[in-house]
Structure 1
């Protein structure tokens, strides 16, 4: 369970609330997308790796998650809560003192993932990643043209990110 949580947050940069709100019905395995409902009623489809998708589907099956109920559950079938995250980081900090000293948290994972992706975009302009960042609201220096033909928008930037 702990490695599933860490992988989910590292791959998607989702908030804890987004992970806790995840339901089996929110998994779209063919294109490897998950529907995240996060802070401020933000809803976004987020791509994930096929490996993470397999783990999420297996977890839902093994923990007997109902289609519209919370996906992430304990072995008993009870949905996890924010307290699970607190417990995970306390246990990690017991084995890795620098985690406790640096106050590493799920929010830290989110921030680090978003920062890393932004920095990679500075090296070379990648429109496909720009679209993903736009979904996260992180592609600051880009304007997106929304038209009837392109409802999802298209990157109109020329050059690198800042």
Structure 2
């Protein structure tokens, strides 16, 4: 017998419906993400532009942070790069979830209606590029830190054999 908590509203699937098709059940989190993106489809181009603008500002801040002459890595650069990774992965996952729902409801082809797709493909691209830029930023910060630490820490005395 299942515990009462397992039968709560949070564990029940919620139907997600698109025009002229059958509904498909998704978990509450997935259904909320799909319904949120459905409500924002008209603004999806603006969201994509905003994502790319945030990425540009973040990259400029990371470059400025890497130019400092401190011997160790800048905590702000690492935090910003991690934020880019997490934010990019979340955005790309939500957009992928939306496309998966459309595929599950309409089949593999999906409708050609811009009312359903909007510019979400561009938002998904922005999420993927943001996550990739975050990973590159982390790798760059680590490389810069290693190079700076090698120049600051003097090498030990050379042993002659």
TM-score normalised according to structure 1 size: 0.24
| Greater strand share, structure number | 1
The structure showing larger relative contact order (alpha-carbon pairs under 8 Å, at least 6 residues apart) is: 2
Q: TM-score normalised to the size of structure 2?
A: 0.24
Higher helix residue share: 2
Q: Which has the larger radius of gyration?
A: 2
